[in-house]
Amino acid sequence: MPDVAVVGAGPNGLAAAAVMARAGLSVEIFEAAGTIGGGTRTSELMQPGHLHDICSAVHPMALASPFFRAFELARRIELAVPELAFGSPLDGGRAALGYHSLERTAEGLGRDGAAYRRLLGPLVSRIDGVMDFTQHQLLRVPRNPLAAALFGMRTLEQGSPLWNARFKEPLAPALLSGVAAHAVSHLPSLAAAGAGLMLTALAHGQGWPIPLGGSAAIAGALADDIRAHGGIIHTDVPIDNLGQLQSARVTLLDVAPQGLLNIAGDQLPGKYRRSLESFRYGNGSCKVDYILSGPVPWAAKELADAGTVHVGGTRAEVAQAENEVSAGKHPGRPYVLVAQPSRFDGSRAPAGRHTLWAYCHVPAGSDRDMSEAVTAQLERFAPGFRDVVVQTHVTTAAGLANYNRNYVGGDFSAGIMDMRGLLQRPVLSRVPWRTPLPGVYLCSSSTPPGPGVTGMPGFFAAKYALKDIFGRGVPALGL
């Protein structure tokens, strides 16, 4: 066995392996699936020449994650950064538009433009401090206390019934709630508000990038670096017991808490095992992929230039849909998160064709096909959408759980997104990446800072493994 064994070749497992290989250690990765990537896989789901991102599609953290910045990801892959990062359509052909430029965004929000600028401006101007606060363990003193305080105060506002207090019209609230709903959480809530404000500030600070060639480009860049430093990647090799890796000095597990329970079993101390058994997972998603004969015919023409569109209507409508999911119901008019990668990347589909990526939230474990409800919402804001649909592919929440062991119940966040879930991830600890087993570390999105393609859970687990077992610091990661 090598010095380091990594279980799981998702972005966090690959990030952990890259750090360890850069440190001069022998590293082997064991991936149960036939391809690497986890949440960053891209494939031809339906027809040749049409590339679909299987899970994540747009990557706000590709330019902002401290790990990816150190790794210099932007120099390793090509990224398209739409000037119009996201938008939220409303009935009547209107839309709230979130541009890279904060000023341009504010100008389009009518009477609420100044209020929106006051809300986001201090975060955008302190984006590095905001990222330092949100991309580390919350149980620490932030390096930029002012940025953390400003972020916290705005989170308290937007996560409470006061979330509309500063606004007079529907556009700005719809724009903000469309991003907050990424969190798959009750609205308003502190966790959703925090996630939404961070992502919105990133959109105005550096944009929301789309990898050319698909999200698999991110996994490919990590794999190339691992191999260049002597690492070995095995696919189609499931690990069902830690005994398979007992000769490795360090084991890094890119698995959910349930996965750790499955492979560690009775080796875990009782208290820690009970914490993993009580770990709470969130609700799921139903994903619908489309092949289109042309671009989406948005009633608000500007949305054709948006990388991401949050389809759900007003803030009240988005909140109603998300709160129905929180109550265990399937919404009749779901909030739908839509990405348009082929609009910015010609490699995704043959000339004249487009691929469209969409999902809505559903109760955990749902096996309901929501494609008709998703299509109806798109038709509502893009009349004639049904006429350009060539083919669809549906993955229910239960299907997501089968696709990836970490997506328990279809929860691709690998843990519920509320304040308790952010602090107790998977246990309340200053170093939650360590397990009680010597040399065994958890590096999945079930550890801080949580979900998203950031590489940070893998980075932190590798950092502590280097310190604890090998007495080394983190190596340089750039080109």
Spatial neighbors of 181 by CB under 8 A, at least 6 apart, are 187, 192, 196, 310, 312, 318, 322, 335, 337, 361
Q: Specify the pLDDT at position 67.
A: 97
At 418, the pLDDT band (50, 70, 90 cuts) reads confident
User: CATH for 4-44+51-57+214-278+413-470?
Assistant: 3.50.50.60
Q: Please tell me the distance from the alpha carbon of residue 446 to that of residue 475, in angstroms, as a whole number.
A: 25
Contact 270, 264 (CB under 8 A): no
Rounded mean pLDDT of 212-228? 98
Query: Cα 437–438–441 angle (5° rounding)?
Result: 70
Q: Give the mean pLDDT of 124-150.
A: 90
d(Cα 134, Cα 125) in Å, to the nearest integer? 16
Q: Is the pLDDT of residue 273 over 80?
A: yes
Query: What average pLDDT does range 197-211 have in this prediction?
Result: 97
How many residues are recorded in the chain?
479
Residue spans per domain, the chain: 4-44+51-57+214-278+413-470, 76-210+283-403
pLDDT reading at 281 higher than 90: yes
Under CATH, which architecture does the 76-210+283-403 domain have?
Answer: Alpha-Beta Complex (3.90)
How do residues 321-372 score in pLDDT, each as one tens digit? 999 999 999 999 999 999 999 999 999 999 999 999 999 999 999 999 999 9
Give residue 138's pLDDT band: very low, low, confident or very high (50, 70, 90): confident
Cβ contacts of residue 271 below 8 Å, gap of 6+? none
pLDDT at 141: 81
Judge whether residue 246 has pLDDT over 90: no
pLDDT value for 422: 84
Ramachandran angles phi, psi of 366, nearest 5°: -60, 140
Q: How many other β-carbons are positioned within 10 Å of the β-carbon of residue 328?
A: 11
pLDDT band at 137 (very low <50, low <70, confident <90, very high): confident
Q: Does the pLDDT at position 140 exceed 80?
A: no
- The Cα–Cα gap between 336 and 399 comes to 18
Buried b / exposed e over 386-410, threshold 16 CB at 10 Å, is eebbeebeebbbbbbbebbbbbbbb
Q: Which residues pair with 441 in a beta bridge?
A: 252, 434
- Per-residue model confidence as pLDDT tens digits over 96-131: 999 999 999 999 999 999 999 999 999 999 999 999
**Which of 443, 458, 467, 453 is closest to 16 using CA atoms?**
458
3-state SS, residue 101: coil
Q: What is the mean pLDDT of residues 78-100?
A: 98
Return the residue matching tokens 């940070």. 456
pTM above 0.75, yes or no: yes
What local confidence, expressed as pLDDT, does residue 1 receive? 76
Whether the pLDDT of residue 139 is over 90: the answer is no
Q: Mean pLDDT throughout 70-89?
A: 98
Q: Is 11 helix (H, G, I), strand (E, B) or coil?
A: helix
The predicted pLDDT at position 114 comes to 98
CB atoms within 10 A of CB 93: 12
pLDDT per residue as tens digits for the range 440-460:
999 999 999 999 999 999 999
Q: What is the 3-state secondary structure (H, E, C) of 316-366?
A: HHHHHHHHHHHCCCCCCCCCEEEECHHHCCHHHCCCCCEEEEEEEEECCCC
For residue 180, count other CB atoms closer than 10 A to its CB.
29
Measured distance CA(176)–CA(325) in Å, rounded:
19
Local confidence band at 420 (pLDDT 50, 70, 90 cut-offs): confident
Single out the residue of 289, 297, 290, 304 nearest to residue 87, CA to CA.
Answer: 304
Query: pLDDT above 90 covers what percent of the chain?
Result: 95
Q: Please say whether the beta carbons of 170 and 132 come within 8 A.
A: no
